[in-house]
Amino acid sequence: MTVLFYDISFAISVVLMLSYVFIWQKHFDAHLSLIFLTIPLANLGYCFMARATNIQEALLGNKICYFGGCFLPLFVTLAIFGICKINLNKHLRVIILLSGVVSYLSVLSIGYNRWFYTSVSKDVSDGYLVLEKTYGPMHTVYYVFVIAYMLIGLSALIYALFFKKDISNKIVSVLFIPELVTMISYFAVKIFNLKVELVPLTYDIAMVVFLIVAYRIAMYDVADAAIDSIVEKGNTGFASFDFKHRFLGSNSVAGEMLPFLNNIKVDSVVKEQTLIKWLEDFKADENKDKISFKQDDKIILININYLVSGKKKVGYQLLITDDTEEQKYKEMLEHFNSKLEQEVDQKTRNIVEMHDRLIISMATMVESRDNSTGGHIRRTSDCMRFLIGAMQEGGYPGLTEKFCHDIIKAAPMHDLGKIAVDDAILRFEGRYNDEQYAKMKIHAAEGARIVHEILKDTDDYDFHILAENVAHYHHERWDGSGYPEGLKGTAIPFEARIMAIADVYDALVSKRCYKDSMPFEKADAIIMDGFGTQFDASLKPYYVAARPKLEEYYRKEAN
């Protein structure tokens, strides 16, 4: 019965080992693989012991069993650290491995010295040969090592269960089973004085647990699973080179996309200068990790990265893909976006033009109520264009293209406030008395209010403020004697200071119901005299530069 138990345990361990081989993937933890190799060997030792006919055969089986006893605890501990993604110090790994080697060397000394067993004799029980042993000091050391491994493994599992978020709690919980089952079986044999060792059974249970864990890890390891999926799909090429440009290997897809790879022998230095340049450029600047080129009717994309072994960079890895469809899609998308942008720009221009025409129409409607200023809006807009042109040609400091465009566009809005002036005042023919003039002056503040309401929802905040300032402050004077706020000097917005010159010049040289047009010389004298009192003196040179065009313009208007 004992022999049958050990034979079944061994057979089960072999089946489980083959199952592991069937699902094995190259990214599995190496210690996991060692567990599946060691357990069948240890179980085979129990089979030898059960069939031993003399003490030498029993000792051989015993030593094979202890191979599992010495190395399995450390393989399990290291596998737990790997599965739980807990970094273990390199020197500590070496110490753990050395402890297993020392333990097993003392086991191999059985029969030659008294380190592990001080004495060994044989006994026969129920027809089976049984070893009677007296334990030596190294056996105690062996138990210390085994208990230490178990405690370290349990500590790692508890830590992972509560503090590691990148490992499944289901996997961690399952890993407690081998540790607990081993302890239970050990004490069960001692307490119940069983005739058979339960260790092979616990080994098989551990193999089942680790087989489940290995299967789950293959799914949880997203990075490796993704790479495997890409390789399996069969449209991605891989090629590897070391830092000396020696070819390390590639898959068939890489050979199809880069035919020169098919002529390179593994471990030989690459002669292809184009490839060498790609690698050297990447080495000098890691941002140069993408190369795209056309080959026949395909567009090939190469991604270069470092080939890593453990934590050390050992060479270059090329990921090669057919990017033709992606580039066609991008080209189509760019074409669509370009066409869409053109349509949006056209629609925007149409809206802006409609908005501008609406403003001009409003200004014209307001002007039609004023008997004294026919054509004033159009003329002041043209005057503003001449003044701004002279300022641009003269290099006025800080003058931007947008400001010039905006102030010319805003000029027709400067008198919109007259819509709030009573018809009796607005249509009065003759010079205003003080009371009438006071009522007329409200058009500046009202103009600012109206412009604000018209433009308050515009996206162009700068134009909104500029147009509002032109309407509000174009009657302010440099010396502070203007209206509606009595602002002085540079407190008057710059755009309003320019508008004031255009507005006054047109009023002087144009015919009104209460006066004839003034000769250019006289109007010019008034304007020139006003610089420093009514107008900003810094604008004087630009008015002088614009004067010939202004006079030519008004001569044509008169005809």
Q: What is the pTM of this model?
A: 0.46
| Number of Cβ atoms within 10 Å of the Cβ of 241 | 23
Compare 50 and 527 and report the one with higher pLDDT: 527
Amino acid identity of residue 16, one-letter, is L
User: Is 387 exposed, middle or buried, given 0-12, 13-18 or 19+ CB atoms closer than 10 A?
Assistant: buried
For residues 24-47, give the mean pLDDT. 86
Q: How many Cβ atoms sit within 10 Å of the Cβ of residue 228?
A: 15
Nearest-angstrom CA–CA distance, 323 and 518: 75
Show Cβ contacts of residue 235 under 8 Å, excluding neighbours closer than 6 positions.
Answer: 253, 321, 322
Tens of pLDDT, residue by residue over 50-89, are: 888 888 888 888 899 889 888 888 888 888 888 888 888 8
Cα separation of the two ends of the chain: 131
Using alpha carbons, select from 504, 222, 502 the residue that is nearest to residue 389. Answer: 502
Kindly state the tokens that stand for 473: 């402050």
CA 252 from centre of chain = 32
Taking a C-beta distance cutoff of 8 angstroms, is the pair 514, 431 a contact?
Answer: yes
Q: Is the pLDDT of residue 205 over 50?
A: yes
Mean pLDDT of the chain: 84
Mean pLDDT of 5-16: 91
DSSP 3-state of 309: strand
Instruction: Please report the sign of the dihedral spanned by the C-alpha atoms of residue 8, residue 10, residue 15, residue 19.
Output: positive
Residue matched to tokens 């200068």? 273
How much is the pLDDT for 223? 45
Q: What percent of the chain has pLDDT over 70?
A: 87
76-80, 115-119, 423-427: segment of lowest average pLDDT:
423-427
Tell me the domains of the chain and their CATH numbers: 2-221 (1.20.1070), 234-322 (3.30.450.20), 360-558 (1.10.3210.10)
Residue 466: per-residue pLDDT: 95
Strand ranges inside 323-451, DSSP E = none
